[in-house]
Amino acid sequence: MHYFLSESIGFFIVPSNVIASFAGLGLLLLLLRRRCAAMVSGLALAVLVTASLSPLGNMLFTPLEQRFPYFAYPDQPIDGIIILGGSYDTVSHSYVSEIVLQEDTEPVSVVPDLARRYPTARIIVSGGSDVSIPGPSEAAMVKQTFISWGIPANRILTEEQSQTTAENARFTARLLQPRPQSRWLLVTSPYHMPRAVGAFRKAGFNVMAFPAGPRTHGWREFWWPSNTATDNLRRIDLAIHEWFGLVDYRLRGFSDAWFPGP
């Protein structure tokens, strides 16, 4: 129930969904010849132009992506490498049960290198199945992908029940029972890392962040929009989702910090 409520609320905090809803409402009002039709339609158009052609997406997105350093390989041994599901896009095909590498799959692609660098570390994949799509869990699909890349199956553990980042953390803690002195490398997309680190610290993990797959090019492009309107709008969608998520996790006790950092 909480999952469906969260998804419903999530729909209305995505800017592109709100813009499309206002545009549809404006069209309906035009058909009904309402006086406010022009105002609603004009507002939707103005917000669309601002969101898709301005640097607003980069301005919201860059602080998230730059919160943790890139390629921060720990010098000391680590107990495990945790890869999150739900922070990158996957496409499930029930007849082949495979993961399709596309947007946000860099967290998956860096794992073979990390597995070689830390040969004694366990590899943990956390991510349940989409409740609206029958088939194997995301963690199970990713595990098979890692095996096909040459990582031994006995090194890979899966947590296959979680639907949110908070559940990733809690259910993985239940599986691993981490000790205070243990060290864990957390792998996910850079924009998602602050919320993920906050959740895993709250669950009892001593995590070190390993963000993979930035969408922006750092602070030097903070004031410049992307070359395409769709990229700008997509960045706003993702950034707003994460900023709301950070506030939500802090208020509900899933994190001990408003903006977790190194």
- Identify the pLDDT of residue 91: 46
Give the Cα separation of 25 and 90 in Å (integer).
32
- φ/ψ (deg, to 5) at 188: -160, 180
205 and 237 housed in the same domain: no
Instruction: Look at residue 163 and tell me if it is in a domain.
Output: yes
201 and 91 housed in the same domain: yes
49 and 108 housed in the same domain: no
- pLDDT by position in tens, the chain (length 262): 555 666 667 777 788 888 888 888 888 888 888 888 888 888 888 888 888 899 999 999 999 999 999 988 999 899 999 998 754 444 444 444 455 555 667 788 889 999 999 999 999 999 887 666 666 778 888 888 889 889 999 999 999 888 889 999 999 999 999 998 999 999 999 999 999 999 999 999 999 999 998 888 889 889 988 888 888 999 999 999 999 999 999 999 999 999 999 9
Domain that holds residue 37: 2-65+230-251
The predicted model scores a pTM of 0.84
C-alpha separations of 147 from 91, 109, 139, 153, 174 in Å: 19, 13, 12, 6, 24
Instruction: Look at residue 136 and tell me if it is in a domain.
Output: yes
- Identify the pLDDT of residue 20: 86
Q: 8: buried, middle or exposed (CB in 10 Å: 19+, 13-18, 0-12)?
A: exposed
Instruction: Look at residue 218 and tell me if it is in a domain.
Output: no
Instruction: Of 200, 190, 170, give the one whose Cα is nearest residue 238.
Output: 190
84 and 57 housed in the same domain: no
Instruction: Look at residue 70 and tell me if it is in a domain.
Output: no
CATH classification at residue 166: 3.40.50.620
241 and 189 housed in the same domain: no
- Identify the pLDDT of residue 11: 76
Helix (H) or strand (E) holding 144: helix 138-148
Q: Are 151 and 115 in contact (CB under 8 A)?
A: yes
33 and 98 housed in the same domain: no
Q: Terminus-to-terminus CA distance in the chain, angstroms?
A: 34
- Where are the strands (E) in 55-180, listed by range? 80-84, 122-126, 156-159
104 and 186 housed in the same domain: yes
Instruction: Look at residue 155 and tell me if it is in a domain.
Output: yes
159 and 54 housed in the same domain: no
237 and 202 housed in the same domain: no
Give the Cα separation of 124 and 108 in Å (integer).
12
93 and 203 housed in the same domain: yes
134 and 18 housed in the same domain: no
Q: Domain total for the chain?
A: 2
Instruction: Look at residue 133 and tell me if it is in a domain.
Output: yes
128 and 194 housed in the same domain: yes
Instruction: Look at residue 217 and tell me if it is in a domain.
Output: no
- Identify the pLDDT of residue 86: 59
Instruction: Look at residue 260 and tell me if it is in a domain.
Output: no
